[in-house]
Amino acid sequence: MGGIRLGPINLNPATTESPLGHIHFQAEICGQRLDDALAETYSLKSGTRLFVWSLATGTVELLLCDIHQGLPTQMEVLACHAAIWRLRALD
């Protein structure tokens, strides 16, 4: 699997850096906080990260990535980040 790293972690990985500081993502599903559960993590060389939490009530995924937009030459953006959640309930 070229460029992909896998592994369970017990830290809340759902944090990213921004020009204004840390951005922390958190969710609670049926009373269970995601930072209390193990996440399976996938990382690409580009910095894109996917976190997957498998819970008794379903699966939660969080994709963190950078967005590179084409801007006119007179415009400048320091950074643009995206966070996309996907929830799949078992019931």
CA distance 89 to 61: 12
Q: What is the predicted pLDDT for the residue at 17?
A: 74
Average pLDDT over residues 73-90: 84
In a domain, 66, yes or no: no
CA distance 86 to 45: 22
Domain of 28? 5-61+80-89
In a domain, 41, yes or no: yes
In a domain, 72, yes or no: no
Segment 29-66, tens digit of pLDDT: 878 778 777 888 898 888 888 989 888 888 999 998 88
Alpha-carbon dihedral of residues 90, 13, 64, 41, nearest 10 degrees?
A: -60
In a domain, 70, yes or no: no
In a domain, 74, yes or no: no
The number of domains in the chain is 1
In a domain, 75, yes or no: no
